[in-house]
Amino acid sequence: MSKPILELRDVQTVVNKGTANETTILKGINLTINEGDFITIVGTNGAGKSTLFNVIGGNLGVDAGQILHSGVDITKSSEEQRTAFLARVFQDPKLGTAPRMTVAENMLLATKRGERRHLVHRQLKANLARFTELAATMNNGLEKRMTTATGALSGGQRQALSFLMATLKRPDILLLDEHTAALDPHTSLNLLHATNERITHDHLTALMITHHLEDALTYGNRLLVLQNGQIKADFRGPEKQELTVEKLYHYFED
């Protein structure tokens, strides 16, 4: 039986505190994420999707409530401390990679996530075959550019590299923050397929924000609808499988 890998208990987050623009973004979020869950998340702009990821990732604090990782309270732990068990891929392909380093060097760097980072050329050579094999799973020619500076890659290749780096050292929790939104439709679909294959093959626990309802329905075993800083719906199993875009639209109505 799956066990909780991450729990949010009555989490509340306030921004612009003490000003006229003070706003409560997350309003008592309760969420249990089990090992192996692949959760897609949808919601209108301002619903709290990115804030939820920022809170889980540790780069935004909570004003009330508690966050637990495998039963351990991490509410006060820093973003850096959470990199030991959590990885994130952002919407912008430029984030998450070092532009002047080669593809292989970036991948080597990713093997040190959560540790002190040192580049040793001997380790790079020893890992090159493995890195090349992993790059080939992206189906976009990345494996042919292992010695290319990352800044010279296409947006799709760079985002694929970001995804590989996030999953190279198997994270307990993978956050996909609209990671295909900046790509053209063909490149986006290719990366989504590769994402799904890696998550399924490695039994990763992942959360993916998307604005495309079709993608939210197609991928994952759970689907969350966020509205006004609260979880309006949490579909899973047969209930999620029976959802349609039309039915899902109703959850965005006031």
Nearest-angstrom CA–CA distance, 53 and 168: 20
Percent of the chain as helix, strand, coil, to the nearest 5: 35, 25, 35
Nearest-angstrom CA–CA distance, 199 and 215: 15
Is 93 a member of any domain? no
Per-residue pLDDT reduced to its tens digit, 116-129: 655 555 578 888 99
Q: From 89, 248, 245, select the one nearest 180 (Cα to Cα).
A: 89
Clarify whether residues 175 and 253 are in a common domain. yes
Clarify whether residues 159 and 178 are in a common domain. no
pLDDT in tens, the chain (254 residues): 567 999 999 999 998 888 998 999 999 999 999 999 999 999 998 899 999 999 999 999 999 999 999 999 999 999 999 999 999 999 988 888 999 999 999 999 888 876 665 555 557 888 899 999 999 999 999 999 999 999 999 999 999 999 999 999 899 999 999 999 989 999 999 999 999 999 999 999 999 999 999 999 999 999 999 999 999 999 998 999 999 999 998 888 76
Per-residue pLDDT reduced to its tens digit, 62-97: 999 999 999 999 999 999 999 999 999 999 888 889
Clarify whether residues 151 and 37 are in a common domain. no
Clarify whether residues 8 and 51 are in a common domain. yes
Clarify whether residues 180 and 79 are in a common domain. yes
Clarify whether residues 192 and 80 are in a common domain. yes
Is 92 a member of any domain? no
| Helix/strand/coil for 108 | helix
Per-residue pLDDT reduced to its tens digit, 146-165: 999 999 999 999 999 999 99
* Domain containing residue 212: CATH number: 3.40.50.300
Clarify whether residues 3 and 111 are in a common domain. no
Clarify whether residues 102 and 140 are in a common domain. yes
Residue 122's pLDDT is what?
Answer: 57
Q: Helices 121-136 and 155-168, interaxial angle, to 10°?
A: 110
What's the total number of domains in the chain? 2
Judge whether 51 and 26 are in contact, CB under 8 Å.
yes
Q: From 11, 42, 16, 41, select the one nearest 27 (Cα to Cα).
A: 11
Residue 126's pLDDT is what?
Answer: 86
Q: Helices 155-168 and 103-110, interaxial angle, to 10°?
A: 30
Q: Which residue has the tokens 């990199």?
A: 83
Domain stops at, among 170, 205, 224: 170
Is 91 a member of any domain? no
Clarify whether residues 4 and 34 are in a common domain. yes
Clarify whether residues 183 and 69 are in a common domain. yes
Is 142 a member of any domain? yes
Enter the pTM of the model.
0.93
Domain stops at, among 153, 170, 187: 170
Domain stops at, among 135, 170, 205: 170
Is 213 a member of any domain? yes
The set of residues, in sequence order, having a beta carbon less than 8 Å from that of 148 and lying 6+ positions away, is: 102, 103
Clarify whether residues 79 and 197 are in a common domain. yes
Residue 254's pLDDT is what?
Answer: 60
Residue 112's pLDDT is what?
Answer: 81
- Return the exposure string of 62-76: e unless at least 16 CB atoms fall within 10 Å of the residue's CB, then b: beebebbbeeeebbe
Is 180 a member of any domain? yes
- With 0-12 / 13-18 / 19 or more C-beta atoms within 10 angstroms meaning exposed / middle / buried, residue 29 is buried
Clarify whether residues 179 and 253 are in a common domain. yes
Q: Which domain holds residue 118?
A: 98-170
